[in-house]
Structure 1
Amino acid sequence: MSAAMERLVGQFSDQLWRLNNLYTITDKGGRRIIFKMNTAQEALFREMHNQNVILKARQRGFTTFIQLFMLDACVFNSDIRAGTIAHTLPDAQVIFRDKVRFPYDNLPDGIKAAVPALNDNTTELLLGNNSGIRVGTSLRSGTLQYLHVSEYGKICAKFPEKAREVRSGALNTIDKDQIVFIESTAEGQDGHFFELCQGARTKKNTGEPLTPMDFKFHFSPWYEDDAYRLAAGSVGIPPSYAEYFGKLRGLGVNLTAEQQAWYVKKSEQQQGDMKREFPSTPDEAFEAAIEGAYYSDQLARMELDKRLTRIPIDTGIPVMTTWDLGLNDSCTIWFVQAVGMELRWIDYYENSGYGLEHYVNELKKRREQHGYVFGDHYFPHDVNNGEISNGKSRFDTLVGLGIQPVAVPRVQNVNDGINATRRMLGKSIIDPVRCEQGLKCLRNYRKEWDEDRATFRDKPLHNWASHGADSFRNFAQGYVEPSIIQPRQRYSRRSSGGGSWQSA
């Protein structure tokens, strides 16, 4: 064999060379180019594990790389099955068209002649060597050697049934020694993608050895992309951003002036979605707004204004509470002090499976241990409903326990209450430590997704986050802007028969 032929054989035996020299794609400008790995793609190639979970910023090229990686495996190996799951069928078909079929059709003619395509459709490529790659929204049937789940965070947030199908179906088509890629931007602290990332991060941080069945965590932040830069000096850096960049330096992330300029301008455009779409750290990706979240812009503004901060408790100011009552669901309580026009959210409590006495005792604990002096207690309209155990209304039960409820009637349109809450957040400060779970509820309170119409419904999703968000909204409706309730009504106060501990 000649030296040239040996070199050619060696090149075609090298997957890294093949991936960087054989496949044609279209770039962001619509031009045909030979694919070359960027730094994020090469890092994934070199650090790949059997099962990989990838938390990413936008436009890092993981979908392109993974599709070419699986296509290459199918072209150069017989009897391989690879599959890709996207959150909608149109998205799956676009991935197949642009990142599988187009690169295959533009391979050198000699390769296509040796491994011809045996079919022509929009969701599957079957090759003459009995290898194939297909796309869909579940891929439950069959056995796969390679699986790619694209934007799994969105699937978990918008299509929980599909997420369950991925978990119970598609992941069970993969043997422990095969290759899985699950990649997405973050979509709040809820769902299987969040759980996978947290579990994989814990193993990475502790240095625990990974078995083939463990997921390896990969994080691709925005600042690793050379495209995310603007000319230094072209953008003024506001103090709030300068402080944010300083915090990143404390975490070992040293941004250049060009990167800082880009971030400021991009953040003006993205607003509350910035940290979700372009995270600097894994933690902020999951703490950032989720798509369809009601209060994302307001919470982002509070963070920039440093109104998510530790708050000292002033025992000379009455503490008001606002509740959401649940029988089988969580019962939630926010604790707030009004100082002039400012609302200071100093504490939060949530639990489930207990009667009202348990929650009143939590108030007593705070009074005894921290000196809380209580003012009004705001409850939703259903405080007048009967309790299952004794037939008494919750209102009467609370009065017997020493609580004087203020019942807030149901708002005619929940969006009026949500808008009142948005305005209330503009004059609020929230303690992120004592109110950690409540703040998580506000971040994750979102619109319901209409799968048939592929859009958000104009109504809240009822999930774990809605309880804390509802009790917060109850205060906006009952204390801050009671005029949105027409007519304005409250249950009359009743004598508690000596239950005056709350203001003593």
Structure 2
Amino acid sequence: MPEVAERETQAERIRWVLQDQERRLNHLYWVIDPYSRERKFRMNPAQSQLYRNAGHRNIILKARQHGFSTFIAIWALDTALFNSNVNVVLVADSEDNAKEIFRTKIMFAYNRLPAALRERRQAKRSRQEELLFNNNSSIRVTTNARSGTVQFLHVSEFGKIAHYYPDKARELRTGSFETVHKGMRIFVESTAKGYSGDFYDLCKTAQQQQQEGRPQTELDWTFHFFAWFEHPDYYLPNPEEVVIPADTREYLDKLETDLGITLTEGQKAWYSKKYENLGDDIMSEHPSTPEEAFAQPVEGAYYHRQMAALRKHGRITDVPFDPRVPVYTFWDLGHNDDTCIWFMQPHGQGFRFIRYYWTHGESIQFYARKLKEFADDFGFIYGTCYLPHDAENANMEREDGKNRREILEDFNFRVRVVEKVQDKQEAHQAVRDVLPRCWFDAENCATGIMCLDHYRKEWDDRLGVYKDKPRHDWASHGNDAFEQFARGWDGGGNQQPLPNTKRGWRQI
């Protein structure tokens, strides 16, 4: 009978699909697409690449709307349905988002499975945002997962969590990640939120290991990056209708050369329109490279416009050292905190920052000898050292009571102490005013540049807004050292290097 044969053929096809996870993911599940339409899920190229290249622990840096949250939710559901005694946990950045993920991704996909499969794998809601299946596997969407043992963990928007709620990010790293034993699956995915936090650290560690070709263990992270131009829908169908500004076209042409890719005119038109709407935020929302993703202006940062302008005008670059010009230093002195030093050479009406140095837990004598080292190694001739007001505080640990200014002068450095700032807003404005006249060496000032990028306002967890005061963290020390320059620079006093010493220092 034709009907019998057709049913047998259909049954055979269903068995064929159910036998392999990749086939199940591409034929079994329904999702809501970006246009609010219900459709059968099919992996796009980026999702397929992730599936085939996934390790045990995966860190995913991406442009927006590649669909990884939906894909990993389907993958997680499939893992629970077709494996017994598995605990699957999806971690969202907020309770509202957890509820939405459970409703629109997990429940939506489960309720549209073939009736026979749902009958075979019955589920009950054991608690809010959790399904417990009759194979003793479960899938749960929450904002944290510290207890129990988890075999499949997904954390979405980890960059956002690390930026706004660093304590929560630490809790996820030390708690949730530790519920997953070696050999099991973790997926952490997000757009970037600047050069700091647990998401940045995870990405850089995994990327370094990958670049160096070091072998991976079951506890190492696999780094995945997906650029905007890898999305099949990121183009405009009538590119001739879009006028692409010269600087945007120059950027895109350079991108093709640097990455060895070819962009269609439709892709270029799409990017141009997105840049028109997003401005420099496009670097985090639709990055072209991992480095670009983290280099975007940080939300709440005091100098994000000025730092973006420096990058746009090529002022963060390879800055040459001029051996004929004195090197002036600008300090922030730490006790238990970091001590940071900027090294600058004036150049015409501008300023070249050629090096940034920081460490912590060392004496002022250590830093004096470090400057001597730089003089020997690089040929620096020192002008004035600009120190903060607390350099003149008495040092009770020394028998002679000498303060740090006096100790530095004993090493034959010329010192100026910058008066204490009375209004922090004025100090911020001084930095904003002088940044357009600065150049920074991209390699030797990398950490200092990150400080200026990430010096930002304190976040109010309760109100969900930024406070009108700076956040005191690793970035604030590099900023405070730069403020000694912005507020204290007096042209170096037209001073020549100390004449009776070698390159402005003497050995003690």
TM category, shorter: 0.7 to 0.9
CA distance in 2, matches of 1:106, 1:455: 40
User: Residue in 1 aligned with 2:163?
Assistant: 157
Work out whether 1:330 is the aligned partner of 2:332: no
Work out whether 1:74 is the aligned partner of 2:84: no
User: Residue in 2 aligned with 1:277?
Assistant: 285
User: Relative to 1, partners in 2 of residues 1:206 and 1:327: Cα closer, same or farther, differing over 3 Å?
Assistant: closer
Q: Deviations over 1:255-276 (max 9, x none)?
A: 3333233323323433333222
1:455 equivalent among 448, 465, 489: 465
Deviation at 1:371, TM superposition (A): 4.9
Question: What is the TM-score when the length of structure 1 is the normalising length?
Answer: 0.87
1:180 equivalent among 169, 178, 186: 186
The equivalences for 1:1-20 within 5 A come to 2-20=8-26
The equivalences for 1:234-383 within 5 A come to 234-239=242-247, 242-243=250-251, 245-367=253-375, 370-383=378-391
Deviation at 1:469, TM superposition (A): 1.7
CA-based RMSD: 2.9
Amino acid at match of 1:26: I
Amino acid at match of 1:174: V
Question: What is the TM-score when the length of structure 2 is the normalising length?
Answer: 0.86
Amino acid at match of 1:4: Q
The equivalences for 1:424-503 within 5 A come to 424-479=434-489, 502=504
CA distance in 2, matches of 1:129, 1:370: 68
User: Residue in 2 aligned with 1:232?
Assistant: 239
Work out whether 1:405 is the aligned partner of 2:389: no
CA distance in 1, matches of 2:63, 2:174: 27
Amino acid at match of 1:232: P
- Is this contact kept in 2: 1:271–1:300, CA < 8 A? no
User: Relative to 1, partners in 2 of residues 1:500 and 1:143: Cα closer, same or farther, differing over 3 Å?
Assistant: closer
Amino acid at match of 1:454: G
- Report % sequence identity: 40
- Is this contact kept in 2: 1:96–1:122, CA < 8 A? no
- Is this contact kept in 1: 2:302–2:457, CA < 8 A? yes
- Is this contact kept in 2: 1:273–1:296, CA < 8 A? no
Gaps of 5+ in 1: 482-495
SS of alignment partner, residue 124 of structure 2: coil
User: Relative to 1, partners in 2 of residues 1:344 and 1:147: Cα closer, same or farther, differing over 3 Å?
Assistant: same
- Is this contact kept in 1: 2:412–2:505, CA < 8 A? no
2:46 equivalent among 18, 32, 40: 40
Q: Deviations over 1:371-413 (max 9, x none)?
A: 5444443222222222253233333333333334333333333
Deviation at 1:223, TM superposition (A): 0.8
User: Relative to 1, partners in 2 of residues 1:264 and 1:479: Cα closer, same or farther, differing over 3 Å?
Assistant: farther
User: Residue in 2 aligned with 1:218?
Assistant: 224
SS of alignment partner, residue 2 of structure 1: helix
CA distance in 1, matches of 2:114, 2:28: 8
Deviation at 1:468, TM superposition (A): 1.3
2:177 equivalent among 171, 175, 179: 171
Deviation at 1:324, TM superposition (A): 0.6
CA distance in 2, matches of 1:70, 1:190: 29
Amino acid at match of 1:354: E
- In the alignment of these two chains, the number of paired residues is 489
Residues 165-174 or 256-265, more deviating:
256-265
Work out whether 1:65 is the aligned partner of 2:75: no
User: Relative to 1, partners in 2 of residues 1:435 and 1:84: Cα closer, same or farther, differing over 3 Å?
Assistant: same
CA distance in 2, matches of 1:313, 1:171: 46
Deviation at 1:149, TM superposition (A): 1.3
CA distance in 1, matches of 2:390, 2:463: 33
CA distance in 1, matches of 2:320, 2:10: 76
Deviation at 1:82, TM superposition (A): 0.4
Residues 138-147 or 70-79, more deviating:
70-79
- Is this contact kept in 1: 2:25–2:78, CA < 8 A? yes
CA distance in 2, matches of 1:500, 1:315: 14
User: Residue in 2 aligned with 1:199?
Assistant: 205
Q: Deviations over 1:147-180 (max 9, x none)?
A: 1111222333333322232222222222223221
